[in-house]
Every structure is written in structure tokens, then in C-alpha cells.
Structure 1
Amino acid sequence: MEISPKEFCHRSIVSIENVSFSYEHKKVIDQLRFDVLERDFVGVIGSNGAGKTTLLKMLVGLLKPTDGEIRLFDSPLSQFKDWERIGYVPQKNAFNPLFPATVREIVLSGMYSKKRIYRRLSKADLQKAEDAMLAMRIEDLADRKIGQLSGGQQQRAFLARAIVNNPELLILDEPTVGIDAETQTGFFRMIRHMHQHHHMTFIMVSHDMDMMQSYLGTEPQQVSGGIKFHVKHTHDPEDCRETNLTHSIGQIREMIGVQ
């Protein structure tokens, strides 16, 4: 049976069913129910301690819910294996600055999964990493150790890593913290383009209320405890002639005026 574009774009990417989480008997998230559909852009907003980062960590398997179930691409989180379909940028303070890897190695690591770990990267793979670094304006830092970079430079490297594999779901936890205002603006424009014209779904935590609400609206779709979910649906068929990664990340160079 053929699935129409409309039906396809209403598939559930993330399903959160009655999920709770507690730290040392202190409940941070309580009976959360929320669905993220294909090509949604979900902005997660709330005060410190509301559970935003905890929620994202549960979505990528770093934390286990105290109660309830999370499903990714219609698969229970405990059984989910296709992690290359997901890009994740954690908060900057989650990174160990002593990790002995170069920027290029960090970006290339975004292309590995358990399925691909023993397969050599192709020339096309290597070029995607170069393009990602170029888009984030860190190509001149490719051979520097990640721990030698400034906080903003490190975050650019992890942004490049998250988008290098052209994921279907991009999960971002304060992705622009420590990045200069010009690059922040270019980054938001890039992800808006990717959301509107490409096959990608976004979940992003950000304290930049003006930037988030200018795209997602001022009224949340749902409020759970101290967390507000602002959602923009883009379920029309993609309209970009170019769908490859180079085109997508290349948008940022035009938008921030890099030649």
C-alpha cells in the first residue's frame, strides 16, 4: 500500500508516554505525554531545573525514565539501534576538555555507528566532514585538539558533528551558547531552512526566547510542569531541488556572508 506524503509526514518520530523521572526521589518530570511528528520543530523552553536537559538525555538514551515509555521512530527506546538517524548536541558543560581528539576526528565521529564502526570512511564521507567544518567556520582548526579551543569554537565543532550525517532527527541542547551573535543568527537561519525545505525534525532547548518565539510562536502547544513546548509543523512536501548535506550546511555560509 502506497503512503501519501501527507500520511508520511504525520508519522510519529518521538512518542513520550506517561514518562516520569526522579533524581534521588525528587521528581523532575511527572507523567509527561508528548508526540513529535515527522518534520516538526519543537522548542523546549523553561526555567533552570525544569527538566529540559533531563528530557533530552532520556531521548538519546543517556538517562532511563523512572516510569513510562519513550519510542523513537516507532521503536521502544530500549530496542532502538539506528542512532545514525539522530544528531545530538549536548550542553557545552557536558564535554570533557581533556578528551584527546582533533576537531576533524570529532566531526568524523558523527558518521560512525555500531553498524559502520569497522567500515572505512569513503572520500564522500571525508568531504562531508570538511564541508561541515567549513560551514561552521572551523576549517582552520581541523587539526587542533578540541580541548585547546574556546567554548564557542568547541560548540561549533559539535554542531558540525551533529549535522555531518544529515540526520532525520536533530536534538539540540542550548546549541548556540558561547557562539558569537553573528554565527548564532546564521545558525538559526540555517536550521529554519533545513526544517522548512528538507526532511528533518528538530527538538531544541534554548534560552533565546526572541529567536525561538519568532519562528515557533509565543503560545506553547503544551505545558508540563515547568516545561513549555512550542511547536511549528511543516508537513508539506520538501521543495528544495538540492537535498544533500553539502547544500544544507552550505546555507550558513551564504547567510553569514562567508565567501
Structure 2
Amino acid sequence: MLPESLDCHKHMIEIKNLSFSYGEQKVISDLNFTVRERDFVGVIGSNGAGKSTLLKMIVGLLTPSEGDIKLFGESVRKFRDWERIGYVPQKNAFNPLFPATVREVVLSGLYNNKNVFRRLSRQQQRKCDDALEVMRIQNIQDRRVGMLSGGQQQRVFLARALINHPDLLILDEPTVGIDVETQAAFFELITHMHAHHHMTFLMVSHDIDMIRNYLGHDPIQRNGKINFYSHHSHELQNCAAEDLQHSLT
């Protein structure tokens, strides 16, 4: 029998009877949804449908009005192992005048309540080097983030989210504000990571054509104005066998 760590049927996110309201306005109502290990889930919906609200509840920035969210089997209310999750918020959440270099922004992904005032170790600096190299931004690591193009900024934020080698990557409208060619290159990058690097993705996007080309034309579920699309990295019946082969190489 394969160990649990090689079972990609396990649940990364479990959403049960979830509802959320802003005052009298209910945005999400009685949502039930599961993200399995190595899924790529795309969330599509009109403005105000509750897409970003959903992601903020998953990463603990908002509290559900009703229901519960479990991350890796533990309620989000008690979850503390945030290093397992990489989160790239909407670009408009970033202040372009913030005086930080590319390297400083990427390194900030390592800080938490335990080490916010500690000097980073050599190993942590190497993690930063690796993330910069993977995103091909090591040559601009000393530049101010606010001086970069939209595509370069998104690579910086993705490097920041990847620095802890997370099991789950959550992206909120990652291609907004960048040109079409750069959008395509960015999406190609993250789908390659999904297919070949054993990662799980949850992404809100406004680009329905790009989502459908990779995740299929028909949503697997709807909730109000939100549509959910999903694609696994390979056939589920072959998942455990491929994981075992990967662990032995």
C-alpha cells in the first residue's frame, strides 16, 4: 500500500456549506467544493461574483459567515502551517511606490510571526536565489519593484509565493494589467509547473478562453455567478503509480 503522502486523491481544500455576506448582501451561498492534490482549479465569474472573496476566506483574510474551510484536513480557523500555501493577491493590492527591491520582496515570503525580526540564514538566502532563478529574474534582483513592467512584477510575486516550495499555490487575477503576449507566457509557465512539478493550483481569472483551453470548456460546478473549472495533472487512476515513480527518481 502506498503511503498517504503519495495519494493525490487527498484533499488540499475542502469547502463545506460556505456562505459569506457583506452586510445585507450575500455574495456566496452554501458552497461545497473540494480541491484535490495536483488539481488545477480555475474560478471564473463576473465582477462582484465573490471570486476574490472566496480566495481571501481560504487564506484566512476573511471569516466565513457560515460553513467551514479545511486546509490539508484542518479548519482554516486553526490552521497555522501557512508555509504550505503560496498566495499571489491581485496586482492592485501592491503599492508601486513601496521602496523595495525585487530580492527584498521575494525574501519577504519567508517572514512569519516566528522570524520577522530574525536575520535570514544562508539556507533561506539560497531559497531566494532558487526562486529568482526559476522565475528568471535574478538579473533584476536589485531593481525597485515599482520600476518593473507588469509581467516582471508578476514574476516577482510568483517567486515570492514559491520561495517556501508550497504544496498549494493560490493566484488572484495574476494576468490583469499585463499585455496579451506576456499573459500567454505567464500562463504557459504555471501550467508547466502544474503538469511537471507536482503542484496544486487555485486561480481566479478573467480570461475565460485561456482557462477553457487548459481546463476544459465546461465548468464542473457552478455557485451563483461563479463557475469552477478543473484539470488534474494526469489521469487519476495513474496518479499513485506516477507519484511512486517520481519518489524513486
| Fold shared by both chains (TM-score > 0.5) | yes
State the Cα deviation string for residues 6-49 of structure 1 (Å, max 9, x = none).
Answer: 7x211111011111111121011011111111111100011111
Greater CA drift, 225-234 or 138-147: 138-147
Q: Report the CA distance between 1:116 and its aligned residue.
A: 4.6
- What's the counterpart of residue 185 of structure 1? 184
- Looking at structure 2, the residues matched to 147 and 197 of structure 1 have their Cα atoms a distance apart, in angstroms, of 32
State the Cα deviation string for residues 130-154 of structure 1 (Å, max 9, x = none).
Answer: 3433443433432233334344433
- Looking at structure 2, the residues matched to 154 and 240 of structure 1 have their Cα atoms a distance apart, in angstroms, of 32
- What's the counterpart of residue 3 of structure 1? 3
Q: Give secondary structure in 1 for the equivalent of 2:56.
A: helix
- What's the counterpart of residue 81 of structure 1? 80
Greater CA drift, 68-77 or 147-156: 147-156
Identity over aligned residues, as a percent?
61
Greater CA drift, 65-74 or 114-123: 114-123
The AA in structure 2 aligned to 1:70 is: I
Q: Give secondary structure in 2 for the equivalent of 1:207.
A: coil
Query: In 2 relative to 1, CA 222–76 (structure 1 residues): closer, same or farther, beyond 3 Å?
Result: same
- Looking at structure 2, the residues matched to 157 and 109 of structure 1 have their Cα atoms a distance apart, in angstroms, of 11
Is residue 165 of structure 1 aligned with residue 154 of structure 2?
no
- Looking at structure 2, the residues matched to 5 and 162 of structure 1 have their Cα atoms a distance apart, in angstroms, of 22
In the alignment of these two chains, the number of paired residues is: 242
The AA in structure 1 aligned to 2:215 is: L
Q: Give secondary structure in 1 for the equivalent of 2:67.
A: strand
- What's the counterpart of residue 41 of structure 2? 42
TM-score by length of 2: 0.86
Equivalent pair of 2:151/2:182 in contact (CA under 8 Å): no
Query: In 2 relative to 1, CA 143–209 (structure 1 residues): closer, same or farther, beyond 3 Å?
Result: same
Which stretches in structure 1 are left out of the alignment for 5+ residues?
244-259
Q: Give secondary structure in 2 for the equivalent of 1:28.
A: strand
The AA in structure 2 aligned to 1:192 is: T
Greater CA drift, 17-26 or 89-98: 89-98
The AA in structure 2 aligned to 1:57 is: K
Q: Give secondary structure in 2 for the equivalent of 1:155.
A: helix
- What's the counterpart of residue 56 of structure 2? 57
State the Cα deviation string for residues 169-224 of structure 1 (Å, max 9, x = none).
Answer: 00001112233444333322222222223231100011122221111000111000
After superposition, where does 1:186-225 map in structure 2 within 5 Å? 186-225=185-224
Equivalent pair of 2:51/2:226 in contact (CA under 8 Å): yes
- Looking at structure 2, the residues matched to 86 and 146 of structure 1 have their Cα atoms a distance apart, in angstroms, of 23
Equivalent pair of 1:84/1:112 in contact (CA under 8 Å): no
Which stretches in structure 2 are left out of the alignment for 5+ residues?
none
- Looking at structure 2, the residues matched to 93 and 12 of structure 1 have their Cα atoms a distance apart, in angstroms, of 31
TM-score by length of 1: 0.83
Equivalent pair of 2:16/2:67 in contact (CA under 8 Å): yes
After superposition, where does 1:12-161 map in structure 2 within 5 Å? 12-117=11-116, 120-161=119-160
Q: Give secondary structure in 2 for the equivalent of 1:179.
A: coil
Query: In 2 relative to 1, CA 4–15 (structure 1 residues): closer, same or farther, beyond 3 Å?
Result: closer
Q: CA RMSD in A?
A: 2.5
